[in-house]
Amino acid sequence: METNTQTGKLLATKYLGNNPKLATRLEHSISVGDLSSKVAKRIAQNNPELNINVDLCEFLGYCHDIGYFISPEKHEIHTIELLKKEGLDPEIAKKAMHGQLAEQFGEKEGNVRQYFPVGIEGIILTYCDMSVRIGEPVAIKERAREIIERIKTIPTIPDALKKDIEDNMIKALPRFERYEQIVLALAGLKSAKEF
């Protein structure tokens, strides 16, 4: 399977497009894909020696959340499984890892590293996912605050889980902010709004 904007959008629509409950997830995926495209192109232009795979960054941005088709919990792992099922090389599929599983499960399971982003493409994906919900990107700290506040208003999430998500977000924030610093430095920009 080719990995580019077209195939990324195709997979996002295939797995998230038929369920009204996943409509905002699909919208978010499009925003992350669009941002990934801008970020990857800019970093590739500024740093040709890095040999960034822009097409792959776009692909990952659009399809990173297809695992929600299986379940929201550990959807990152489900995304990787679905990509492998779709015929993607397992080493490439692994680059779809994102989110805060390292903080949520890594320590408990005694293996933090398996949940870290893979390569610069993985860092760009994690950065983009954490910078934009729908529409324009914001500073990661701002988006983390927004996620915590929004989760508090969802009645179907049990209080213990809300607390767990909030705690892990606070724990993961410094790591996400390091990716933000790396991405902005490589892009030669001061803030996400400049993309």
- Kindly tell me which of 65 and 180 has the beta carbon lying closer to Fe ion: 65
Q: In which residue are the tokens 């983009």 written?
A: 128
- Kindly tell me which of 44 and 147 has the beta carbon lying closer to Fe ion: 147
Terminal alpha carbon distance of the chain: 29
State in angstroms the smallest separation of the CB of 75 from Fe ion.
Answer: 6
Interface map 48-87 toward Fe ion (x if CB under 5 A)? -----------------x----------------------
**Residues 6 or more apart in contact with residue 20 via CB below 8 angstroms:** none
Number of residue whose CB is nearest Fe ion:
65
State in angstroms the smallest separation of the CB of 76 from Fe ion.
Answer: 6
- Kindly tell me which of 65 and 103 has the beta carbon lying closer to Fe ion: 65
Residue 144 makes contact with Fe ion by CB under 5 A: no
Helices (H), the chain: 5-16, 23-46, 54-63, 75-85, 90-93, 101, 107-109, 119-131, 140-152, 159-187
State in angstroms the smallest separation of the CB of 188 from Fe ion.
Answer: 27
Question: Contact at 8 Å (CB) between 67 and 82?
Answer: yes
Question: Contact at 8 Å (CB) between 164 and 103?
Answer: no
Chain residues in the site for Fe ion (CB under 5 A): 65
